[in-house]
Structure 1
Amino acid sequence: MAVVSVALDAPFHSGIGHLLSYRSAQPIAPGTLVRVPLGKREVLGVVWHDEIPQENNSELALREVLEVLDGVVPLSTSWRALMAFAARYYQRSLGEVAIMALPSALQDQSAAQWHKRLSKLSLDGGKRSARQSKSSARTKNAAQAKALSPPETIALAPMLSNAAQALPVLSKPQLTQQQQQALDAIVLEAHGVYLLHGVTGSGKTEVYLQLAERMIASDPQAQILFMVPEINLAPQWQAHIQTRFAPWLGEDCVAVMHSGLTPVQRLNEWLAVHQGRKRLVLGTRMAVLGSFAKLALVVVDEEHDPSYKQQEGARYNARDLAVWRGKQQSIPVVLGSATPSLESWYNSRAATAQTPAGSYQRLSMPARVGGGALARLRLVDMTAYPRDTVLAPSLLAAMHERITAGEQCMVLLNRRGYAPVLQCGACSWKSDCPHCSAHQVVHKADRSLRCHHCGWSTRVPHHCPRCGSVDLAPVGRGTEQLQEMLQEQLGTMVLDDGRIPQVVRIDADSTRHKGALQESLAQVHRGDVDIVVGTQMIAKGHDFRRIGLVAVVQPDGALYSSDFRAPERLFALLMQASGRAGRDAAYMQDSASSPELWLQTQEPQHALYAALARQDYPGFAALQLREREQAGMPPFSFQAILRADAKTQEGAQAFLRQVAHMAQTAGLPGHEWVTVYPPVPLTIQRVANAERAQILLESASRKALQAYLSALQPLLHQARAQAAKGLLRWLVDVDPMAI
């Protein structure tokens, strides 16, 4: 009788612990999936390691493993090491992180269902191989007339059925000098972390693809992970990768990993990657937790994006886990961005007399491919206009001129809906959410009031719920209202082709239905749309070729934020938005125009906008890093947040004060290096009827903070047991993205 330790999905606050012991009639290899009893349920688990049976036969009292989901290679030692590190660093239970990283469809798979699925995938794989063999034969016949010249001639024994066959030449553009230098620097080193700092349109994607090409050609089992921050960027990336590598690996060569897949789709893709049947993987943050047969390269595009940080459950940062995974497996990790995070920028610093060099290597690409110009900043001082002005007359005239010339415009307003709030003119009633300390947003399309925090929705009332007045009006503006206004103001125009200018809106509301985003993007690319209105969704990564003017409405809010990261996020958003203009240098030259970024602001003299006008990210980063060093903020310190949710704000803060007092009394390891701030409410204090409060923990030593947090866990369980019934939950957020 063998005894095994199994990782199960048990949240840390449950007190169950990291691993549970079970007995088995046969030894089970570590990394094997099993089904085991937990209370009255049967749950999925991962065998973590064998245990040594005790001489007193106490293991006979253990419950037994119910089923073994074998038939595939067990989860690797490196994958289990990643899970252990993520659980330890982000203060979660091992099983919670490990099961979270697996497809949800595995949760209810019996051994019989599992083996049936494997048999079906094996049968489908055989049919697919037969089709690809025919395709490869056609490719070979078409390519036989072409003599490949070194170094493009590559033996492809493991990739094609004919070991003597050479790879066909992939269709790809000629690299610029700066692209070639960046590519060679990564290939020569072959491992490490590289920060690819390239302006928008400098060709970072092509560097990624040609780096992947070299990796795949040199290693017959190599797998490449491309990470993007949001699902809406996946379709164009998938198209790029499939188009490039289909001649080598077949049409269906890209595995996709993101939350937009169905559970069955995600399971099939996970298996294809785990078994090594697919070598190109495209995903959002969850993809970094995938099980790879042989991971050889990780690319994190738009590495600065806060979407890489999980905000529910185990709050991991996918970019940081990619860096850790690269170091663990001695493979290169490429972090790409036009506006790198200040942490990555600092980690790629050059050595000075005062500080050693950072652990990353910085590679710069300061020019656009084709010699295209970067967008020129046009600041519009909105203090010169009435307060209710939405778009300045000069901006409207500039947009009119652009669309008349056949160009497209983009208008960014980072607020969806029709208006942020509905207000009564008689008694000042506002459309507050009954479950959150936030307003319900007006959505005109379906005449609803909707809370963007808890999802609560009601119909727009015909009269004030408080006083009965019909004097109800939306206050403020969202993308829905901006689209309506632009369509009205430009609807009197007739373009040369007889069309009336068309305005399309791209935000979380307009693209919530399946296929809606792809259709909207296709309209933009075809030229059927003259003006694109949207939230930050449209500012990231999209390769719009005909946009000549980008306008940003109401950006000043971040300048007054209490969050020290707000200027960094604003600068990144504005730089990314400006990068959507003028991406096709030849098109802009033919139209004899230059790209522009119009910014409507109440603070035209602000230093952030001055740096933006110069397209000077290094200067902006240097200023921000000096301020952060003086204030002792990250990356010069390390932070964690302890949050409590309770039925009352008093209950949440009382729990946090009790934990802080217990920690001070206990003298936890590293306490002399850790500052514990008093509990305060969150900015949005109440969400879904839960009152939220938090404590900030800060230290100049990451090691001291980690030791303190680890020792704090038993005290949290103890305080929870002593707390009143009003406490709902607590959580620890390590390296928070917002405070």
Structure 2
Amino acid sequence: MNAGFVRVALDHPSSALYDYRMAHDAGPAEPGMLVRVPFGRRDVVGLICEVSAHSDVPAAKLRDVLALCTACPPLSPQWLALTAFAADYYQRGLGEVALPALPQALRDPSRWARLLAPEERYRLSEAGRAALPEALPARAQALRRLAQELAERGELDPAQARALHPKAIATLDAWREAGWVVHDVVEMGTAANRATQAEATPPAVTVPRLSDEQAAAVEAIGAARGFAPFLLHGVTGSGKTEVYLRALAALLAREPEAQALVLVPEINLTPQFEAAFRTRFAATLANDAIVTLHSGLAEGERARHWLAAHTGRARIVLGTRLAVLASLPKLAMIVVDEEHDPAYKQQEGLRYSARDLAVWRAKQLDIAVVLGSATPSLESWWQADQGRYTRLTLARRAVADAVLPSVRLIDLEEERRRGRASFEGLSGPLVAAMKARLERGEQSLIFLNRRGYAPTLACDACGWVAGCPRCSAYVVLHKPERALRCHHCGWEARIPHSCPECGNVDIAPMGRGTQRIEEALASAVPGARVLRIDADSTRRKGSAQALFSDVHAGDVDILVGTQMIAKGHDFQRVSLVGVLNADNALFSHDFRASERLFAQLMQVSGRAGRAGLPGEVIVQTRYPRHALYHALARQDYVGFANTTLAERRDAHLPPFVYQALLRAEGRTLEAALAFLAQGAEALATLPAAGRVTVYDAVPLTIVKVMNAHRAQLLVESQSRAALQATLRAWLPLLRANRAGSGVLRWNLEVDPLDI
């Protein structure tokens, strides 16, 4: 389509589109194409949203498009509509939504010409993994670093290799001749699975027999036509993944060109999902028809996978929340696993909910969306109660002899009164239960959602507690690294030899984290092979997958970790789950804390007894009579959800009202609060203000982070439309108030999860 002018969205807070003039030799422009344009004193990449034969901007002010990206097919009108909806609903500029959703390769004009050109990749062979870097001389540090980077990253392109060693290509060619390195030429838009490429025929796959409940769920999803939202409520181990696989297989058999999007909440869950999907579809889909999209991928790999989805080559796209904004021109089904998980809500930049956008996208495209969880969010449960979602229930575990674990509550106050021994926070009954599992060759899992050795370091003599100089928070003791570390800003210091206030050398850790429990387990259960999995032990790429492989292989007797181990993992030999320090969430100021705690405990409880072994869950608590723990002991999500929804209705809380949260960060707390107070005054002048409730501005629980003082202002309404209209009119007033306010940053979040 030839046009003289284009309207372009830029990655800028303004929601306006900018007019540019097309040069005669630039080629035909279409909506959805990327362009390089001048903006101020810089050249930036923008997205064409409209083309026109005329412009209302005076000719003297118009500037020319500098380059047009023709190598990448234009983004579809449906994708543009999705990003436009997200921008409008979450009150952001269109370019702020659309451009960050694209891989970096598309936002770099220097790479446009070779977007779909083949790329070279080097990777270690099995022989290379066994030989390198030990086969290299100890003094050859650069060569050893090259080998180590190959092992850690998985693959290197020529530019990455040369950055590590000036003669990297010649070295890699020599290693290839030795059989240590494999040289691949990868076509952009493909994502070959190397593990299966070498196999002439796919291995035979044993497809499990469906239970009656699973068969009914698959049939219902397969029979749906048009927009059909399903809430798949299945207890842990009930075979929700098998329902996804069968539903997708039926879709792909019915619509040969269809694409499907499968969302998971965390990166560490993608390897096992990818393995399951590749195994099941090995005989029917090409190697590059299944791709992953998440922030843990290298930029080149993410670009290849995104292009595979965008060009329709990828049939199944598996990813975390950012994948919901991927371009899939033939999308025919969406699956959101663990739909309740807070990780689906982005907490920086565009604060969107991937689950909610998935539902909107399904409605836009008139397709089915399946939301799966053992503990659905109360918002989704309420939608099903209202008949807007179809509820599908899997009440029994899929394995014939597998039953839900029993739950035992250990009263810590009673243990203390009776003088019973404990081991660094591990009660006697829990230690005895772990020893019994060790004798039977079974595995135990200890859940503590607090990483590090201890929450902080303190002095008994003067009361000093180690705090962060940049945040109003205590620093966490990391004993293996001999460091104090702030988990909010990253500040780090060595452990002092004595109290900096009084000089007392008897400073001691306060509380317990996963590192301390790992240390205690070595003494409490002698001979047990203990493994810790948390954010500290899985920093390197691929380390989480390797650690989970050790658990599945039976090389671990006791696994201790944070929420990383609580959901989605199918530990066949785990028969005992111990839960430590869950009481803190019972008294949180956040009204969603109990919902999150119950979901977390139900999820981690579900790791026990999945393969027919009798499962037991031991929860240590000082409040064994709390209603939440009693619901957990009964495995009664339905009762918990209905009771909590009734409380929310009485208290006028979501999902019965709609909320937005204005946050401000200032050089002083007074500046942040003053900005919010001015915002509240400005909001009161708007026509729709009478339908919106505005609460007082208050400091955040952790007031200072990175020397910025933080406060928040809550706005809510019983009408979503009224709230959206108010926010839309309020934003220009907030931008005007920012000047000279002393506020460093502010943001407006729609449907906040953390208040």
**Greater CA deviation, 414-423 or 27-36?**
27-36
Deviations 1:608-631 (A, max 9, x none): 111111111110000000000000
2:579 aligned residue: 552
1:470 aligned residue: 505
Q: 1:135 to 1:719 in 2, by over 3 A?
A: closer
1:151 aligned residue: none
Per the TM alignment, residue 114 of structure 1 is displaced from its structure 2 partner at its CA by 1.5
Structure 1 counterpart of 2:599, which letter? A
2:136 aligned residue: none
Matched, 1:72 2:107: no
Per the TM alignment, residue 108 of structure 1 is displaced from its structure 2 partner at its CA by 2.3
Residue in structure 2 matching 1:691, options 700, 706, 709? 709
Partners of 1:121 and 1:268 in 2: CA distance:
10
Instruction: Give 3-state SS (helix, strand or coil) of 1:417's partner.
Output: coil
Q: 1:129 to 1:309 in 2, by over 3 A?
A: closer
2:650 aligned residue: 630
1:63 aligned residue: 63
How do residues 216-615 of structure 1 correspond to structure 2 at under 5 angstroms?
216-349=252-385, 357-371=386-400, 372-386=402-416, 390-491=425-526, 500-585=527-612, 588=613, 594-615=614-635
Structure 2 counterpart of 1:296, which letter? A
1:731 aligned residue: 747
Partners of 2:588 and 2:115 in 1: CA distance:
51
2:686 aligned residue: 667
Partners of 2:96 and 2:504 in 1: CA distance:
52
Partners of 1:630 and 1:51 in 2: CA distance:
53
Structure 1 counterpart of 2:259, which letter? Q
Per the TM alignment, residue 429 of structure 1 is displaced from its structure 2 partner at its CA by 1.2
Per the TM alignment, residue 125 of structure 1 is displaced from its structure 2 partner at its CA by 4.4
Deviations 1:646-699 (A, max 9, x none): 1000000000101111221x223x311110001000111111111000000011
2:10 aligned residue: 8
Alpha-carbon RMSD: 2.2
2:244 aligned residue: 208
Per the TM alignment, residue 446 of structure 1 is displaced from its structure 2 partner at its CA by 0.6
CA contact (8 A) 1:246 1:253 kept: no
How do residues 644-659 of structure 1 correspond to structure 2 at under 5 angstroms?
644-659=664-679
CA contact (8 A) 1:23 1:60 kept: no
Per the TM alignment, residue 52 of structure 1 is displaced from its structure 2 partner at its CA by 4.5
Per the TM alignment, residue 293 of structure 1 is displaced from its structure 2 partner at its CA by 2.3
1:680 aligned residue: 698
Deviations 1:242-289 (A, max 9, x none): 111121123343211101011111111111110011111110000000
**Greater CA deviation, 43-52 or 340-349?**
43-52
Per the TM alignment, residue 105 of structure 1 is displaced from its structure 2 partner at its CA by 3.0
CA contact (8 A) 1:376 1:597 kept: yes
Deviations 1:167-192 (A, max 9, x none): x9964212111100001011111341
Structure 2 counterpart of 1:485, which letter? A
- Aligned length in residues: 678
Structure 1 counterpart of 2:715, which letter? L
2:47 aligned residue: 46
Q: 1:93 to 1:127 in 2, by over 3 A?
A: closer
* Stretches of structure 2 lacking an aligned partner (at least 5 in a row): 121-184
Per the TM alignment, residue 131 of structure 1 is displaced from its structure 2 partner at its CA by 12
Partners of 2:96 and 2:403 in 1: CA distance:
49
CA contact (8 A) 1:170 1:245 kept: no
Q: 1:375 to 1:2 in 2, by over 3 A?
A: same
Structure 2 counterpart of 1:380, which letter? I
Deviations 1:14-67 (A, max 9, x none): xx4432111112551000011111112111111001235148x82353111111
Q: 1:131 to 1:415 in 2, by over 3 A?
A: closer
Q: 1:526 to 1:54 in 2, by over 3 A?
A: closer
Partners of 1:252 and 1:443 in 2: CA distance:
42
Instruction: Give 3-state SS (helix, strand or coil) of 2:584's partner.
Output: helix
1:24 aligned residue: 22
Partners of 1:241 and 1:217 in 2: CA distance:
15
Per the TM alignment, residue 128 of structure 1 is displaced from its structure 2 partner at its CA by 8.1
CA contact (8 A) 1:37 1:63 kept: yes
1:87 aligned residue: 87
Partners of 1:221 and 1:289 in 2: CA distance:
20
Deviations 1:307-344 (A, max 9, x none): 00000001000000000000000110000000000000
Partners of 1:515 and 1:324 in 2: CA distance:
33
Matched, 1:708 2:709: no
Deviations 1:361-417 (A, max 9, x none): 100010001231101110000002339861111111111101110110000001000
Per the TM alignment, residue 138 of structure 1 is displaced from its structure 2 partner at its CA by 5.7
Deviations 1:90-134 (A, max 9, x none): 111110001111112332232xx31223122698449989999x9
Instruction: Give 3-state SS (helix, strand or coil) of 1:316's partner.
Output: coil
CA contact (8 A) 1:644 1:731 kept: yes
1:591 aligned residue: none
Instruction: Give 3-state SS (helix, strand or coil) of 1:18's partner.
Output: coil
CA contact (8 A) 1:558 1:570 kept: yes
CA contact (8 A) 2:191 2:287 kept: no
Per the TM alignment, residue 89 of structure 1 is displaced from its structure 2 partner at its CA by 0.5
Partners of 1:358 and 1:697 in 2: CA distance:
28
Partners of 2:707 and 2:189 in 1: CA distance:
53
Per the TM alignment, residue 525 of structure 1 is displaced from its structure 2 partner at its CA by 0.5
Per the TM alignment, residue 81 of structure 1 is displaced from its structure 2 partner at its CA by 0.5
Q: 1:672 to 1:252 in 2, by over 3 A?
A: same
1:163 aligned residue: none
Instruction: Give 3-state SS (helix, strand or coil) of 1:249's partner.
Output: coil
Structure 1 counterpart of 2:499, which letter? C
CA contact (8 A) 1:53 1:59 kept: no
TM-score by structure 2 length?
0.87
Partners of 1:36 and 1:708 in 2: CA distance:
34
Partners of 2:299 and 2:683 in 1: CA distance:
42
CA contact (8 A) 2:119 2:186 kept: yes
Instruction: Give 3-state SS (helix, strand or coil) of 1:247's partner.
Output: coil
Instruction: Give 3-state SS (helix, strand or coil) of 1:53's partner.
Output: coil
1:109 aligned residue: 109
Partners of 2:472 and 2:192 in 1: CA distance:
59
Structure 1 counterpart of 2:392, which letter? L
Structure 2 counterpart of 1:595, which letter? G
Per the TM alignment, residue 463 of structure 1 is displaced from its structure 2 partner at its CA by 1.4
How do residues 106-255 of structure 1 correspond to structure 2 at under 5 angstroms?
106-110=106-110, 113-120=111-118, 124-125=186-187, 139=201, 171-190=206-225, 191-255=227-291
Give the percent of matched residue pairs that are identical in Structure 1 and Structure 2: 53
Structure 2 counterpart of 1:478, which letter? G
1:152 aligned residue: none
Instruction: Give 3-state SS (helix, strand or coil) of 1:248's partner.
Output: coil
